[in-house]
Structure 1
Amino acid sequence: MRTLVNLTSKILCAALLIVTGQSCSSDFLNEVPLSNYSTEGVLTSEIGFEAYMTAMHKAARDEMAARDASRYFYIMSASTDIASFGNNSASSNNYNTLLTPTSTVTKYVWDWAYESMFPIANTIIAYASKPELADIWSSEEKKNAMIAEAKFFRAYTHNMLANLYGGVPIIDTIYVSPKTDFVRNTREEVLQSARADLEYASKWLPATVKKQGRIVKAAADHLLTEVYISLGEYQLAVESANKVINSGLYKLMDERFGTKMNEPGDPFSDMFKDGNQNRDAGNLESIYVWQFEDMTLGGQGGSNGNNRLRNWGPWYERLTDPAGKSGMIVVDSMGRGTGQVRPTPYFLYNVWKGNWDNDMRNSVHNMRREFRYTNPKSAYFGQLVEPRKTEIDTMQNVYPYPRKIEGDIGTLTNTSTSWSGRTYQDFIVYRLAETYLLRAEAYFRLNDLENAAKDINVVRERARAKPIQASDVTEDYILDERARELITEEPRRRTLVRMGRLVDRVRKYSIRELTRTSIQDFHQWWPIPQTAIDSNVGAKLEQTVGY
């Protein structure tokens, strides 16, 4: 075969020599690709790095949007103090079967971090730092800002893992060949890595951006405040929060604004209406926002949109009326929930005692506590749904819920009679109210109860809630205020783990007896996925104690 090829080549060369009068060369056999989407091909210009950063943001949003079920993103709220699983499955409500080395819960976050977030972030950092690419940048500040944004995401991911698994392998480089000898770093080492990345990010990220959703300096300072608290650096936490609060760029929204300002509502509810989450809509409280777009390529995420309403909202369309006939149909105003995450009585009732009627966050604009039959064919159409007693009704089909989950139904969602329950509402990850509560926590841990109370009262004043005294400030009170302000926004499980309060508060507040009695002290931390341990053949990746 080689002889035939060589002979054919000689004949072609001779023919070309006769026609062109030129000597023969094999250069024409070399492939010259018209496009190159390899890392080396893309990361050769600022535009290429921007494309990679788009992938970085998509991966970050996939914390929520890649999968859709209570055992993925919503495990951050389910089986905690503020919410339980709506379904009565023993495998979900029993901590001994919920958290295992082979469960989808523990594997999903691990894979998201190590297969998506770290590889993309580290690739951007490594290539942007290459001396041979120094000439592609319009300025040193532009290059450093790109590195800073990637370092923010790397720190975000390390911090998340530290508040779920404890100690994990730190990934701060890219690998050109398979690596199978990872070992667990300590939790403090993981947090120190996040700290270093965030301190760099705080220095180089821009204060404001034109493109909504991009990371700004305040996002790094906000997260750095939390990391400092976890490391016991409380004064540094106060100083980091000060950079956000005193920047002059942010304020708590205390006046009506945005797309629905002329409809019934209040400043708190306005923040969560469609189109109101970003700064360009007038929301000067938001710091970091995941972006969703209906009917836009890549705008929906892996699960076709923001699935918060689908998971937190009750499955009301299954309700029958008192005559035993269908009493409910899906309506735009409530979307279509599936009752996966059900708020506990602790959140629905306990935290509002003493402020039930005056706290804005408990108003009819922010909490839906009454339902009316929506099926026009029912004899009870338009009448209030009466109290229910069966477990399936009270745990999944009809229960009070925070209305910040509600959003307009998108075109892709509203394409059949069985709506998916997804919206295209942007999702606020960080906002200024939480920065105040983080600083209050730092003051509390410094035993400065006066300043802790002042920060909590800033948040409560906007909500028209009664102010508290310094003597009222406790760790439990801070957790109560976070629940009132941040439910469905904060990853509650990670907050409780960070404070060392998951186990005792689940035992006290979970609505399900099986959850209260099955949780053990070692469930504070997640197990390492068995797949990660089995594939790490070059070293022993230690399993979390208790599993």
Structure 2
Amino acid sequence: MKNIIISITLLFFVVACKEDYLKEDPLSNLSAEKILTTPNGFNLYLTGLYVASREEMSMGDNTYFALNFASTDIGADAGVEYTGLRNYETTYTPNNTNLNLLWNWAYTQMILRANTLITYANKNGTSVWTDEKEKNKVIAVAKFFRAYTYNLLVNSFGGVPLVEEIYSTPKNDFKRATKEEILNFAKEDLLFAIQWLPTIAEEKTDGKITKGAAQHLLTEVYLGLGDNTSAISSASDLIGSGMYKIMTTRFGGKSTEAGDVFSDLFLDGNANRSSGNQESIFVWQFENMVNGGGSSLNGNVQIRNWAPFLSKIVDPDGKPMLVVDSLGRGVGRVRGTNYFLYDIWKPAPNDMRNSSYNMRRKFYYNNPSSKYFNTLVEKKTVYDDTMRNIYPYSRKIEGAPWANNATSGRSAKDVIVYRLAETYLLRAEAYLKAGRKDLSVLDINVLRSRAGIAPINEGEVTIDFLLDERARELTVEEPRRRVLVRLGVLVDRVKKYNLLEETRSSIQPYHLLFPIPQAAIDANYGYKLDQNTGY
């Protein structure tokens, strides 16, 4: 043992005398220089991009919901306690925390990671890859996410700085590109992605980006550019590919239980293609009780934000209503407006999308110690009850609780980002704008047929009707505010449909776009980053 110790000590001194030994080369350093040198390294880095994508919904707890649903035509910030999202003039300022989170997420997570992958994939040439296809598939995924992020930014802030490379030194003189420049850049990214991404049949792993996702996003980008002909072509390529279909028969693990095909789409475990769901195109993945399976907030936060604060409800004797495990713990951040909860269903009350399997409108006391146990909760008349604590909501958000904790307000349910039903509605929009109402109505009626309601005729097709149909089909799924911004109708529809007078009266034409975060303007001291008009 003594001889071994002496030998190791002598070896240390011999090596230590060499200059190279003093150069640090930590193997635990996960820098791009070290990771992006093998296909496995690139796939590891891609996982980080997928994780960042999922953070769009989870960052800031309510950021995604506050910016996309509250204070729109379908959602209101209506509880007495939550008053921060009601007034456009006092809420949406350059110092708004949620806007700063969104901006930083876009540039420091999504765009930076995508640019890093693209730069290093091209930098390392063919030495890393078995062939050009392997390299370009990685670049294609990165370009999809970069295009996704820029499309999101345009429909939030308008023209923004266009960053397409990574920098080795600080840069503080970014300039805003125009909306058209940003969207054309995204278009080119997506055309490349479509060329190299696998089809859904080739990419069998749930959650991975495929050609269909790029085609869907490209359709929306073309609509943003006002190129309706190309939007029709892109959507038609996807719809006609045969890779996806509108689900019209029951499927999934609960297909023999009470329900309908629309509810099957959103049952926990049914979002992905592996469940038999051939309608989903792009799905955020969550995995309960698995390291890395959640997010910065440990899970899907839809229940917390969309569902009412049921635990605050008391029976006529004052005993509390316990939260049922299957309902989780909502806190009433986003209450549906009367337009969404009632008005859009009046023409066809039997619409499958309004069934009891898809809209929860009845609640039952579930406190075993209450004499009202298992009885229907009576109509409430107190303002905070009706506006925050108990109201109807879409059951798309329901799922098994995260970490088996029903009070967390979170679930492990996967989240559908794109599905074919929206592709049909995007094409219907493009047909309408191109003057082809005859074809627009056919696409809308595909979904109405699945919903079991009467078809509409050409005379009924308008942008407003299309938005009604999107609300019936896509609420919770679509980032509603960004859709209204893209169509230029946010202000008018908030004034017409939002629940709250304070919201309706405070929104002004300049609120169509968010303000550029002041922190971004201040950091860009090498060049004046112009603020949006009105702020």
When the two structures are superposed, what TM-score results if normalisation uses the length of structure 2?
Answer: 0.95
Which residue of 1 is the match for residue 121 of structure 2? 128
The answer as to 2:187 corresponding to 1:166 is: no
Which residue of 1 is the match for residue 440 of structure 2? 452
How many angstroms does 1:538 deviate by? 0.3
- Of structures 1 and 2, the larger Rg is shown by 1
| Secondary structure at the counterpart of residue 157 of structure 1 | helix
CA distance in 2, matches of 1:408, 1:433: 25
Question: Which of 464, 467, 485 is residue 455 of structure 2 equivalent to?
Answer: 467
CA distance in 1, matches of 2:508, 2:207: 39
Contact 2:367 2:373 in 1 (8 A): yes
The answer as to 2:503 corresponding to 1:515 is: yes
Contact 2:78 2:500 in 1 (8 A): no
The answer as to 2:338 corresponding to 1:345 is: yes
| Secondary structure at the counterpart of residue 283 of structure 2 | strand
Contact 1:295 1:411 in 2 (8 A): yes
The answer as to 2:402 corresponding to 1:410 is: yes
The answer as to 2:42 corresponding to 1:49 is: yes
| Secondary structure at the counterpart of residue 104 of structure 2 | helix
Contact 2:402 2:408 in 1 (8 A): no
| Secondary structure at the counterpart of residue 485 of structure 1 | helix
CA distance in 2, matches of 1:474, 1:27: 72
Where does 1:82-231 land on structure 2 (aligned, <5 Å)?
82-88=74-80, 89-130=82-123, 132-208=124-200, 209-231=203-225
The change in CA–CA distance for 1:81 and 1:28 in structure 2 (over 3 A counts) is: closer
CA distance in 2, matches of 1:274, 1:242: 30
How many angstroms does 1:374 deviate by? 1.1
The change in CA–CA distance for 1:258 and 1:233 in structure 2 (over 3 A counts) is: same
- Matched to 2:521, the amino acid is I
How many pairs are equivalent? 522
| Secondary structure at the counterpart of residue 305 of structure 2 | helix
How many angstroms does 1:91 deviate by? 3.4
Which residue of 2 is the match for residue 254 of structure 1? 248
Which residue of 2 is the match for residue 391 of structure 1? 383
The change in CA–CA distance for 1:47 and 1:338 in structure 2 (over 3 A counts) is: same
Contact 2:137 2:197 in 1 (8 A): yes
Q: Deviations over 1:102-155 (max 9, x none)?
A: 01122111011111111100000000011x441211221111111010000000
Which residue of 1 is the match for residue 4 of structure 2? none
**Quick one: percent identity of the two aligned structures?**
53
| Secondary structure at the counterpart of residue 182 of structure 2 | helix
CA distance in 2, matches of 1:204, 1:34: 33
CA distance in 1, matches of 2:72, 2:10: 77
Contact 2:216 2:238 in 1 (8 A): yes
CA distance in 2, matches of 1:509, 1:466: 25
Question: Which of 409, 431, 438 is residue 426 of structure 2 equivalent to?
Answer: 438
| Secondary structure at the counterpart of residue 50 of structure 2 | helix
- Matched to 2:72, the amino acid is T
How many angstroms does 1:412 deviate by? 4.9
How many angstroms does 1:49 deviate by? 0.2
Contact 1:119 1:174 in 2 (8 A): yes
How many angstroms does 1:298 deviate by? 1.2
Q: Deviations over 1:347-402 (max 9, x none)?
A: 11111122102x10000110111111111111111111111111110111110111
How many angstroms does 1:259 deviate by? 1.7
Which residue of 2 is the match for residue 10 of structure 1? none
How many angstroms does 1:210 deviate by? 2.2
Where does 1:35-74 land on structure 2 (aligned, <5 Å)?
35-69=28-62, 71-74=63-66
Which residue of 1 is the match for residue 67 of structure 2? 75
Where does 1:253-402 land on structure 2 (aligned, <5 Å)?
253-326=247-320, 328-357=321-350, 359-402=351-394
How many angstroms does 1:324 deviate by? 2.3
Runs of 4+ in structure 1 off by over 3 angstroms are: 24-36, 71-74, 88-91
CA distance in 2, matches of 1:331, 1:90: 27
How many angstroms does 1:237 deviate by? 0.3
| Secondary structure at the counterpart of residue 126 of structure 2 | helix
CA distance in 2, matches of 1:384, 1:34: 62
The change in CA–CA distance for 1:16 and 1:356 in structure 2 (over 3 A counts) is: closer
Contact 2:35 2:42 in 1 (8 A): yes
CA distance in 1, matches of 2:411, 2:25: 45
Where does 1:527-546 land on structure 2 (aligned, <5 Å)?
527-546=515-534
- Matched to 1:243, the amino acid is D
| Secondary structure at the counterpart of residue 418 of structure 2 | strand
The change in CA–CA distance for 1:27 and 1:369 in structure 2 (over 3 A counts) is: closer
When the two structures are superposed, what TM-score results if normalisation uses the length of structure 1?
Answer: 0.93
Contact 2:283 2:416 in 1 (8 A): yes
- Matched to 2:400, the amino acid is D
How many angstroms does 1:529 deviate by? 0.6
- Matched to 1:216, the amino acid is T
The change in CA–CA distance for 1:201 and 1:390 in structure 2 (over 3 A counts) is: same
Contact 2:306 2:393 in 1 (8 A): yes
- Matched to 2:117, the amino acid is I
CA distance in 1, matches of 2:404, 2:37: 36
Structure 2 residue runs of 5 or longer lacking an equivalent are: 1-8
